[in-house]
Chains A and B, each alone.
Chain A
Amino acid sequence: MGSLVLEALSKRYGSSTAVERVDLEVTQGEMVALLGPSGCGKTTTLRMVAGFIPPTAGRVIIGGQDVTHTPPYARDTGMVFQSYALFPHMSVAQNVAFGLEMRKVGRAERDARVMEALRLVRLDHLADRLPRQLSGGQQQRVALARALVVNPAVFLLDEPLSNLDAKLRGEVRMEIRALQQRLGLTTLIVTHDQEEALTMADRLVVMERGRVRQVGTAEELYEHPADPFVAGFVGRCNLIPGRLEAADAFRAESGALLHCDSGAAPGPAPTGAALLALRPERIGLAPDPAGRARITAVTYLGAQTEYHVEQDGTALLVARPTAPLGDPLRRLAVGDAVVLSWDAAAARLLPAE
């Protein structure tokens, strides 16, 4: 086991940049998620850690050792591929045993550890099957067992859940997290699914176009997004363009005046063009015939109900816990006038892009 450090890691292909000066430290036993839209460089970063792509600049340090120029087979990382990459010509047990063979682990110990790993993922009864005889979820667990059985210093997961159906995904997510915590694995996971990242990782790294936008815990990112991209990517967010008129007043481009607290965020308030970030669930809503806001759509989601609202030419999304039957909120329909309210501190000012 060991920590993972990336120092100013960069990858350029000719004139195009895939990854630009990524700095990151994953401490022993921590799980960090690389999050971002496709093409943001997160997979390239992961593959540089595994050693499949040589970085153009920067260093990869595993357990205090610089492995930037170490070939993949000597790096001691355990990777789970998006496609699982099981060896189709080997049985489940042979797949899992492969890494131990490479490490010249003796036969008896090897067999024992393979069975142990398979028990860990509850597949010990399928040891002699070929990968193509397994379901997608089972294949995924074989891939996990195969990566874990060698006790890697760093555990790498490349979109491990994207080939599973929604229900299974939820289960496996919990399983992986439990395993990771139980075994104390230093883990880097790549995903484009924010929910996956939020539920599994200790910390998240949001990337966009090869650069790290923000690093932090789920809460930090959600409550204090550093920029509109992070605000929009982690959770949902109303982003209203305009400018700050006073310390507590924001003039939207549509002309509406919205109240806010420019001092809530650290650092100086942006001058000039800015964005007001407002989480949908932080907006209160009450029926009021005199209200300036109109409902344009209502979506019932069970525990929550979402309202699309327009006020002075600005469209906002509001999410409220579904009110009990009989509550006036339950009767709201398209076209009804409402009044919106929010805490000034909940409205964050972000610099315009």
Chain B
Amino acid sequence: MAALVLPAGLLVVMLLVAPMALLARISLNRFSPTELMVEATTAENYWRAVQDPYYQQVLGTTLGVALGCTVLALALGFPAAYWLARMESRWKSLATILVLFPLLVGNVVRSAGWMALLGNEGAINAALMGAGITGGPLPLLYNGGAVVVGIVAVVLPYMILTLAAVIEGIPRQAEEAAANLGGRPMTVFRRVVLPLALPGVVAGSVLVFILCMNAYATPVLLGGPQFKMMAPAVYDQFVRGNNWPFGAALAFILLAVTLVLTVVGSTLLGRRYRAA
């Protein structure tokens, strides 16, 4: 029985752990504009990344966007998940499909859709100007707001499906009992559904937070040039700057920050759950 874990485990070791170890080794090398990579054992790439105010700011932006998007996805996704989980009609399949299928339409395509909506010549600005509400186009695209909207749209299905699975496991009678005891709908929701769905909130938030921290296509396409998040910065170093050691160091910093926050966050939330 225990041996069944081996094939998958070995595969992950071979295709993820070993490559990451190689990348860790590369992160200790030195970059040279003419020779690209020079063998070395130095922590200077990490040191440089940590000290550089530019990358501090990029990391700060990434954290801010990831936290904001996670909170927003939770706020918007929970009601939708509850609605989906408690739906009984034949429309439930349709609603599920509507949640699932944006996932199959890649981030590039969805970003193109946002551009057509938010651009200066996009649908929203055209409508606003057509109705005479604004004189000129509003700067909706190429800023942090557009990225947040785009990322929230990308991660919402994950949040909704994770939450809905947990909410479906909450006995309806617990809600009925609360209503029977005089709890108004919002009270029942706050006092009974929400605490019982906390494991789902933790699971969904952790998943979504990681996805946000690692977002690549959406910030590149919707954020505009002045807006930088970590994953695109890493890619830039690898592919645009050909500075593999520094790119690798940035990658590990991103990974470390994500993991530490994930563990801390879920432990705190988990403790609250046990206490409650």
Contacts and interface: CB of A to CB of B under 8 A. Distances in A.
Chains A and B directly touch (beta carbon < 8 Å): yes
Interface of A: 50-52, 71-79, 81-83, 85-89, 98-99, 102-103, 146-147, 150, 156
A321 B188 CA distance: 55
B187 interface: yes
Contact of A87 (B178, B180, B182, B273): B178
Contacts of B177: 79, 81, 85-87, 146
A130 B185 CA distance: 24
A86 B230 CA distance: 46
Nearest to A89: B195
A156 B181 CA distance: 12
B194 to A, nearest CB: 10
A109 to B, nearest CB: 16
A98 B195 CA distance: 14
B176 interface: yes
A88 B192 CA distance: 9
B180 A50 contact: yes
A82 to B, nearest CB: 8
B33 interface: no
Contacts of A147: 180-181
Given A83-B171, A88-B196, A98 B181 contact: yes
Contact of B183 (A51, A73, A77): A73
Q: Chain B binding site: helix, strand, loop or mixed by DSSP? A: helix
B184 A87 contact: no
Contacts of A83: 171, 173
A103 B196 contact: no
A85 B174 contact: yes
A78 B192 contact: no
A74 B181 CA distance: 9
Contacts of A86: 174, 177
Contacts of B178: 87, 98
Interface of B: 171, 173-174, 176-185, 187-188, 191-192, 195-196, 273, 276
Contacts of A88: 174, 196
7 tightest A-B CB contacts, nearest first: A99-B181, A102-B182, A85-B173, A85-B177, A72-B179, A79-B180, A89-B195
Contact of B181 (A52, A82, A102): A102
Nearest to A50: B180
B171 A150 contact: no
Contact of B180 (A72, A82, A89): A72
Contacts, number: 70
A73 B174 contact: no
28 contacts: A50-B176, A51-B179, A52-B176, A72-B179, A73-B179, A73-B181, A73-B182, A73-B185, A74-B182, A78-B181, A79-B177, A81-B173, A81-B176, A85-B173, A85-B177, A87-B174, A87-B192, A87-B196, A89-B195, A89-B196, A89-B273, A98-B183, A98-B191, A99-B181, A99-B182, A146-B177, A147-B180, A150-B182
B183 A102 contact: yes
A98 B276 CA distance: 14
B12 to A, nearest CB: 35
A90 to B, nearest CB: 8
A73 B179 CA distance: 5
A50 B178 CA distance: 12
Given A83-B173, A89-B276, A78 B180 contact: yes
B179 A71 contact: yes
Nearest to B173: A85
A85 B174 CA distance: 5
Contacts of A76: 182
Contacts of B276: 89
A85 B171 CA distance: 7
Nearest to B181: A99
Task: Give the most central of A74, A89, A103, A156: most B CB within 10 Å.
Answer: A89
A98 B191 CA distance: 9
A154 to B, nearest CB: 11
Contacts of B184: 73, 102
Contacts of B185: 71, 73
Contacts of B183: 73, 98, 102
Nearest to B172: A85
B143 to A, nearest CB: 41
A73 B273 CA distance: 26
